[in-house]
Amino acid sequence: MRRAVACLLFVAMSAAAATFQDPSPPKLLEPVPGGAVVAKRHPRVTYHQGPKPLSSAAKVHDWTKFLGPTHDLVSTETPLLREFPAAGPTLVWEMETGSGYSAPAIQGDRLVYLHRIGDQEIVEALDPDTGELYWDFSYPTDFSDRYGYSNGPRASPVIDEDRVYVYGAQGKLHCLRLRDGALLWKRDIQSEFKIPQDFFGIAPTPLVEDDLLIMTIGAPGGPTVVAFDKLTGRMKWGAGEEWGAGYASPIPAGVHGKRVIFVFAGGESRPPTGGLMLIDPADGAVYSTFSWRSRTYESVNAASPVIVGNQVLISATYRTGAAMLDIAPDLTLKQAWTSADFDLHWTTAIADGGYLYAFAGRNEPDASLVAINIKTGQIAWDEELEWQETLSVSGTERELYLSPFRASLLKVDGRFLALGEQGQLLWLSLSPQGPKILSKTTLYLSRQSWTPPVIRKGLLYITQNERDFSSGKTSRLLCYDLRADD
């Protein structure tokens, strides 16, 4: 056992939604109708070569929301490249980017990416196949991460029909028209709700649920969670009075025949507080809560909840660990088990065949890939994946010991794809018997690759968030061909 659980547990029930007032209803803008927007060459994009044609048997999907089409890092795309070539997968195009940790969102012929260059947070709509630019939109920011991490945005864009929602590190929320980038409405969440700067800025990605845009904001005294009308930006309800925003994004699921929003909240607070909230999306009523947060002040709840049937997993690091909770028909919560060794920092676990798989650990040196039994909470195995590889570093060949460390997992095409936090890409077979590396490659040598990968139409999108020590290239958005031969 690497760590000890150091949390307080508490179950509560609220019969009705709290009442909160909208501090500043936004003005709905009426942009001038525009004609078709034609993509043009992007000055920061290098196009390398076209991908292979899609297989005649291909199954594909768009990627319009954080954690994928079903909010659980599971993709139905197939067939994909089984073995990485010696030089790695084919690079289709790359874009020089600014700072931030956002993942792209893709619908049809629009890829939307949010990052920061200078004192501007920039939204760019690209052609996902070529990197050509349709439009861009920017707004000022002076956010500074007080721990020295990136000063760029953390939340990812969310696309819903012909609208895209972007949420910056200082809480500036914009609703833009997807086809041309026209501004429809905006809100300054941090200013309007008087939210102090949290440890690492504002991170939770908004959730579109029916006609609502649901967000974890953590306003002092409440609301912890707020829902806006997705068309007008006006507040519909608020929920919760105690907990800060945290860093995990809200997750929707159907449980016991009811639609429920799961929110894992808890950021900066003294004493440190936070935990899981189950919320009725219709009116914001809080069905139940469960306290789960490290006693360490400078800690975060960042891994999103994982719903498996009528259970939900929550997990955090800083000597906290995981808790599996049973969800009763009345939506109250009861602890099923806890595990100190399944401590997830920001990566979200994936459920498969009665087990949960994830890269656990607070820091790089203590990171490992862990499998845990969903029913019992018993660790099946705990493996540190590492190997030796000769790579060029600043023009010099060096023998390096490599590991994915705190990698992101994606379940796709009957296997698991792992993006290591220093640029390693691995195909894995995971089962209760253990992990097996099927194929691996190094895309680059760069720290802080903490953004989950995105797959759409057999193309893989990776965000390299820091300078590549191998090539010297700055941060980039990379598009790789992962299509299988027909």
For residue 454, what pLDDT is reported?
98
Of residues 225, 226, 245, the one with CA closest to residue 301: 245
| Contact status, residue 90 vs residue 49, Cβ threshold 8 Å | yes
For residue 393, what pLDDT is reported?
87
Could you tell me which residues come within 8 angstroms of residue 66 by beta carbon, excluding any fewer than 6 positions away?
103, 105, 155, 156, 158, 205, 249
411-446 exposure pattern, b = at least 16 Cβ within 10 A, e = fewer: bbbebbbbbbbbbbbbbbebeeeebeeeebbbbbbb
Average pLDDT estimate for 366-379: 97
**Cα(483)–Cα(486) distance, rounded to whole angstroms?**
9
Amino acid at residue number 334 = K
Examine the pLDDT at 15 and tell me if it is beyond 90. no
Which structural domains are found in the chain, ordered by start?
A: 11-17+45-481 (2.130.10.10)
Q: Is the pTM of this model over 0.85?
A: yes
DSSP tally for the chain: helices H, then strands E:
1, 37
| Contact status, residue 135 vs residue 180, Cβ threshold 8 Å | yes
Neighbour order of strands in the sheet with 333-339? 306-308, 311-316, 321-327, 333-339
Beta-bridge partner residues of 461: 454, 479
Dump the DSSP string for 173-204: EEEEETTT--EEEEEEHHHHTTPPP-TT---P
**Cα(411)–Cα(414) distance, rounded to whole angstroms?**
7
| Contact status, residue 169 vs residue 141, Cβ threshold 8 Å | yes
Average pLDDT estimate for 279-300: 95
Examine the pLDDT at 12 and tell me if it is beyond 50. no
Average pLDDT estimate for 160-185: 97
Dump the DSSP string for 400-434: EEE---S-EEEEETTEEEEE-TTSEEEEEEEETTE
Examine the pLDDT at 301 and tell me if it is beyond 70. yes
Examine the pLDDT at 11 and tell me if it is beyond 80. no
What's the token pair of residue 164? 């895209």
**Cα(204)–Cα(32) distance, rounded to whole angstroms?**
32
**Cα(454)–Cα(66) distance, rounded to whole angstroms?**
9
Q: How many Cβ atoms from other residues are within 10 Å of residue 88's Cβ?
A: 14
Examine the pLDDT at 8 and tell me if it is beyond 60. no
| Contact status, residue 83 vs residue 485, Cβ threshold 8 Å | no
pLDDT tier at 16, thresholds 50, 70, 90: low
The CB-based long-range contact list for 326-330 (8 Å cut-off, 24+ gap) reads: 327/255, 327/256, 327/278, 328/256, 329/256, 330/287
Examine the pLDDT at 6 and tell me if it is beyond 50. no
Per-residue pLDDT tens digits for 406-440: 999 999 999 999 999 999 999 999 999 999 999 99
C-alpha distances out from residue 171 to 118, 198, 215, 220, Å: 18, 11, 11, 15
Per-residue pLDDT tens digits for 176-223: 999 999 999 999 999 999 999 888 899 999 999 999 999 999 999 999
Mean pLDDT for the chain overall: 94
What's the token pair of residue 454? 């995105």
Average pLDDT estimate for 159-169: 98
Q: What percent of the chain stands above pLDDT 70? A: 97
H or E element at residue 446: none
pLDDT tier at 4, thresholds 50, 70, 90: very low
| Contact status, residue 202 vs residue 170, Cβ threshold 8 Å | yes
Name the maximum alpha-carbon separation found in the chain: 65
Residue reference for tokens 């949290």? 198
Of residues 295, 308, 310, 392, the one with CA closest to residue 350: 308
Examine the pLDDT at 17 and tell me if it is beyond 80. no
pLDDT tier at 3, thresholds 50, 70, 90: very low
Per-residue pLDDT tens digits for 33-49: 878 899 999 999 999 99
H or E element at residue 7: none
Q: How many residues does the chain have?
A: 486
Amino acid at residue number 396 = T
Average pLDDT estimate for 149-172: 97
For residue 56, what pLDDT is reported?
94
